[in-house]
Structure 1
Amino acid sequence: MSMMGGAPKEHGATVAEYTSYEAAQKAVSTLIASDVPAPDIAIVGRGLRSVERVTGRLGYATAARSGAINGVLLGLLFAAIFVLGSPGAVLQLFVGVMLVGIAIGMLLSIISYSILRRRRDFTSVTQVIADHYDVTVLSRSFGRATELLGGSRTSAPRPAPPVDLTDPPRYGERIEPGAAAPQSGERVDPAPSPAAGERVDPAAPPQYGERVDPAPAPPATPPQTAPGQGTPGQPTGQAAPDAPR
């Protein structure tokens, strides 16, 4: 992937949309393999953002180690130049020149770290990524590209918007069962009680196979006795009147 300066313009119409750059590359390879002109194709990244990944902490030891690695390359370069200039040089001289290059690399890395350590004390890798990638094609090759890719879109599905249960549903609109739970602090009005004289429908009859417990029997009430009549087996407390003579 090459990056050039300047503000790029839109390059054709969008044929397909992908969530990863690798998938967009495969689509471009498919178009080129099917004889679609390569200059007519472009990959456009949407929603660009910069991501800086921290790889480690930067210190004198880390700076010296990275400088030594760079110094090896520098020492090999100096040793190669020295050997080419003096074909009869011994191996010890070659190793010595390479060690000098390693020392120079470590010294330069430590000096640069001592200057920049107050502003930056960690190592990182910066990467520019996009939310999705569009494969665009010029109008002269748009029909062929649409036949090959079929306008494929691999973007993630968006969640459905929440249904507002406070408004009445429209005619023919389906509402999922279950009411929304009241939020914290929201007042819930109790169910209204029937007004005086209002007719209340009886309970619905039981369904088939449903067990219904019998209603409890009312408590038994003792029989009422007439005034002046006692309980059988107990004296009344009054004498019976004398029979007429």
Structure 2
Amino acid sequence: MSMSVSMPLGGVQVGSYDSYQQAQAAVDHLSDEKFPVENVTIIGSDLKMVERVTGRLTWGRALAAGAASGAWWGLFVGLLLGIFAPSGTSWISSVLTGLLIGLVFGALFAAMGYAATRGQRDFTSVSQVTASRYDVMCDPSRAEDARAILARWSLRN
């Protein structure tokens, strides 16, 4: 069923929650009650980006992170190339060579990236987009059923 142009995105509101986990639990409950959840949408409103600073970025930390990342890629490539090794000794050398080359190139690329910033961003961080409210929306033809199920569920919780 297609939505009309005048209907809000996702249908009509059947519930509003402070966290995504609460909205997700509500939709999960609708699913448990055999409600056709393909008619349901979760919409986050009033979005904000939160960046949590996790530490200071130094040359040593940048090089270590690059070397570690490169080493994982090198190990992966070395293992792939090791499949074609004729003996156990050459398999080990393929894996170690891939690991060392990955480590060196990872550190080299990390150094170039860190040098390019010229001290403009000497910290590490983790970013996350959050909403202040999460609305559970539903197709209007099913909205009353969804509201009734969620009302009974909220009385139990």
Q: Report TM bin, short chain.
A: 0.7 to 0.9
Where does residue 30 of structure 1 map in the other structure?
29
Instruction: Decide which structure has greater helix share.
Output: 2
3-state SS of 1:108 partner: helix
Where does residue 99 of structure 1 map in the other structure?
100
How much does 1:63 deviate? 0.6
1:75-134, CA deviations, whole angstroms, 9 ceiling, x for partnerless residues? 112212321232321524432331221111111111111101332111111111111111
Give the structure with higher Rg (CA).
1
- Contact 1:42 1:137 (C-alpha < 8 Å) held by counterparts: yes
Query: What RMSD over aligned residues (CA atoms) do the two structures have, in Å?
Result: 1.9
Q: What are the within-5 Å matches in structure 2 for residues 137-152 of structure 1? A: 137-150=138-151
How much does 1:22 deviate? 0.5
1:148-170, CA deviations, whole angstroms, 9 ceiling, x for partnerless residues? 111988xxxxxxxxxxxxxxxxx
Aligned partners of 2:14, 2:126: CA distance in 1, in Å? 33
How much does 1:139 deviate? 0.9
Where does residue 66 of structure 1 map in the other structure?
65
3-state SS of 2:44 partner: strand
Runs of 4+ in 1 over 3 A off after TM superposition: none
Runs (5+) with no aligned partner, structure 2: 1-7
Runs (5+) with no aligned partner, structure 1: 1-8, 154-245
Q: State the percentage of identical aligned residues.
A: 34
Q: Which has the higher contact order (CA 8 A, sep 6+)?
A: 2
TM-score normalised over the length of structure 1: 0.55
TM-score normalised over the length of structure 2: 0.83
Where does residue 171 of structure 1 map in the other structure?
none
Instruction: Decide which structure has greater strand share.
Output: 2
How much does 1:62 deviate? 0.9
- Contact 2:78 2:99 (C-alpha < 8 Å) held by counterparts: yes
3-state SS of 1:139 partner: coil
In structure 2, relative to structure 1, the CA distance for the partners of 1:38 and 1:93 (3 Å cut) is: same
- Contact 1:16 1:152 (C-alpha < 8 Å) held by counterparts: no
Q: What are the within-5 Å matches in structure 2 for residues 149-168 of structure 1? A: 149-150=150-151
